Structure 1
Amino acid sequence: MYARLPSAASLPEGRGAPPRPLPFLGSDRSALLVTVLFLFSLLSIPKFNMAEVLAFGAFPLFLMSAAQADVKLIVKRLLLISPFVLFMAAGNLLLDRNPVLLISGLRISGGMISGTVIVAKTIISVAALLSVTQSIPFYRICRALEALHLPDVLVTQLLLLDRYRSVLQEEAQSIQKARDIRSFGRKGKGLFRTAPLIGSLLLRTITRAERIYRSMSARGFQGRLVNRPAEKISRSDWRTIGLWALLFLALRLIF
């Protein structure tokens, strides 16, 4: 049996409670561009300038408070990526051991400062991205990407990925359940037993993707899920982007 094709009505607004809008960021298109400007401004800060990084930390705090974002969910996801961030920052401790500061007999090396800046930049940037994605549904993000003239192939792939990620999750859960039923204690759960299961999941995913594509092609799919013109960026959006760009530039010049 072929997989069910998502209709245009199933793509939009309809899943869950409507997210709260982001004030002072304009439309979805201007919100994405302002977020990109924020990320570039944050990443361009020198590796020893901790004060400026903390100043830019006011942006995600403003978004979370204004949009009433789920702070617990954001903190939980930040904790999930914290081991990788700490691992990347730990390399600076070994690469740069030259003492920079001396505080109460404690030598602060350049690697300690730059590593702390890396951690702060990652936390602030990820918190800002999570705040924006909580307030803008994914299908609206894809529409905004269309307005920014991203290729239709990329936008369609993102929409399909969002639509069918639950199918992949169901396949993975069924494989895991079958393995647990056939295992006794820790037997059958080692690395050499798990690797073939991952390969089986890949093959089942490819097979399901081919069935979905054949089903969509039989229903007239021609490369786009939603055949409507993309909205253009308005003058008010450009004004919003310009004001935020001036604010970020002022922060860079002050610090």
Structure 2
Amino acid sequence: MTDPTSPTLITTLQRAARAAGEILCEGYGTTDAIDFECKGASDFVTHYDQAAERTIIDIVHRAHPEVGFLGEETGTTPAQAGNVTVIIDPLDGTNNFLHRVPHFSVSIAVREGTTLTHGVVYQPLLDEMLWAIRGQGAFLDERRLPTPPAKPLTEMLVSTSLPYHEKGDCATSLRQLTALMPEVAGIRTPGSAALEIAYAGLGRFDAFWSQGARLELWDIAAGIVIAREAGCTVTDLAGDPEPANWESLLVARPERHAELQRLLIETP
């Protein structure tokens, strides 16, 4: 049975992420238009998403045959034994990928029961591996992430996921965006939530929030582990730390989390 504390598990996840990243880089580098299908409103899938997810499942299953899977493209595969589930978003940022915007990632997390224990977010174009194990810190490649001091609100660069088309609550996002814009140094919506949540742990962003956008567990699970292990507070806007209940998300240094929370939830 897979032991979530075993060092072989994170090594397997990283190997799977790199293999998936190779597939994505191959697709990104093609000169022809990338074929895609619509799963729903503004919800696209390509051959590369599907191939990357199959590759991740194959690599992890060979090393840990008893684990279950929750994949964006393949759905739920129950565990053969135990209660460990590998949560996969093989291409977080498909819209960017389709438009040749160089900001997307492979996201893989592990959940033991209801507890997120491992997170890997890999940016294949930069060959950057962000990863964390619960209770053991967060890392960029082999370098442990330091805990930088919290900046004042007026110096913060904040990332978000905004809704669009028929996907989410545009009115709520716009109200919160309007409240935050005069208070911070900048707001960005790059288009890969997994990567941006992990970047909040790395310090490239000072916070990440989202409410109107529909973020699934596979979009955020790996980033949550990394951000928490890097010293961020991660909850929904009501302060609930349990992801299964969330319809919003706020990631920030502890010194700024409550301040941002009040600003966002008190939006008229």
TM-score under structure 1 length normalisation: 0.31
TM-score under structure 2 length normalisation: 0.30
Structure with the larger RCO, 1 or 2 (CA within 8 Å, 6+ apart): 1
Higher helix proportion (structure 1 or 2): 1
Larger radius of gyration: 1
Higher strand proportion (structure 1 or 2): 2
